[in-house]
Amino acid sequence: MIIINKLIKYSLNKHKGDVEIIKYYTKENKDEYLLSCDNKKLVIVWDIQNDYNIKYSIQMELSSYIRDMLLLFNINNKDYITISNEGKSEYTKLYELKENTPFIRNIYGTKENDTNYLILWKYKNNFYLIECCYQKISINNLLEDECYDNLDMPPEGNHYCGYLYNKNYLCVTSYGRVRIWDLINKEINKEIEIDNPYGIIPWNNNLSIIGSREGFIIVNIEEKKVLKIIDLNYNLYCLKKIKISEYGECFVCANSSGAIILYSS
């Protein structure tokens, strides 16, 4: 069973606003980074192996709040960052990840999306950007003008977060439930009712951990059962699993006070 009860070493406090996005990345299985963004549109890339020093600090000049972003390494021998904005007035945007982050393109088919969360999916040698949106899941080619599909099934609400499950399945939180979509056949494979799901991460092949208004919710995906609720008395907006040599597998999250916090497992 998973135990989440120990606050550990790091608290990163360079953001001046509420931290609303946090992601963990490895590059070429050796370099490790955290990506974070606050509600003032400040983006920070943290170098984990260099004592969490700041590698990039980017103040984005956009017309609306950033909803989500991804670091994309080694896509056609380049590194990118992709950003979705609040509301429906702009496309999701692609920038090259280097000094001054030059703009590359607007992602086709994304202007009318109300996007909460981004996921990269590789299928048949193409790179697709999955957007968890209000009322739908939008899937579009990252580098070409192609819409793979827009998935929806009532009842719908905000799709807050998700991850790829067994490569071609999408596990996503949506309006009081977790759904697993078969992306190849474009149909729902499984559904689990959950109160107030926000962030979700895989722990192993069977267990997922969900961040919610209550704290952590531990769910058996295969058996469609809630195993445990751990009440932390604050909302968890961003939930990720990372591995640190000193502590092993840990959870990193952002809470409502704007702090980035790591917990041992």
Say how many C-beta atoms besides its own lie within 10 A of residue 72's C-beta. Answer: 19
Phi, psi torsion values for 93, nearest 5 degrees = -115, 150
Q: State yes or no: pLDDT of 1 exceeds 50.
A: no
Give the per-residue pLDDT at 62.
79
The strand pairing partners of 54, in sequence order, are 46
Domain boundaries, the chain: 6-264
**pLDDT score, position 4:** 44
Q: What is the pLDDT of residue 142?
A: 97
pLDDT-based confidence at 235, cuts 50/70/90?
Answer: low
In the CATH scheme, what architecture does the domain 6-264 have? Answer: 7 Propeller (2.130)
One DSSP character per residue, 148-185 reads EEEE--SS--BEEEEEEETTTEEEEEESSEEEEEETTT
How high is the pLDDT of residue 236?
63
**Strand 126-133 vs strand 207-212: parallel, antiparallel, or unpaired?**
unpaired
Q: Which helix (H) or strand (E) holds 51?
A: none
Which pTM value belongs to this model? 0.82
Average pLDDT over residues 175-191: 93
Percent helix, strand and coil across the chain, each to the nearest 5: 0, 60, 35
Rounded to whole angstroms, how far apart are CA atoms 72 and 70?
Answer: 6
Question: pLDDT tens digits, residue range 50-73?
Answer: 888 888 888 888 778 888 999 999
* Chain mean pLDDT for the chain: 84
pLDDT (0 to 100) of residue 51: 85
Looking at the chain, the number of H-run helices and the number of E-run strands are: 0, 24
Query: What's at 147, amino acid-wise?
Result: C
Instruction: Work out the average pLDDT over 77-106.
Output: 87
- On the question of pLDDT at 104 being above 70, the answer is yes
Is the model more confident about 208 or about 215? 208
Dist CA 219 CA 215 (whole Å) = 13
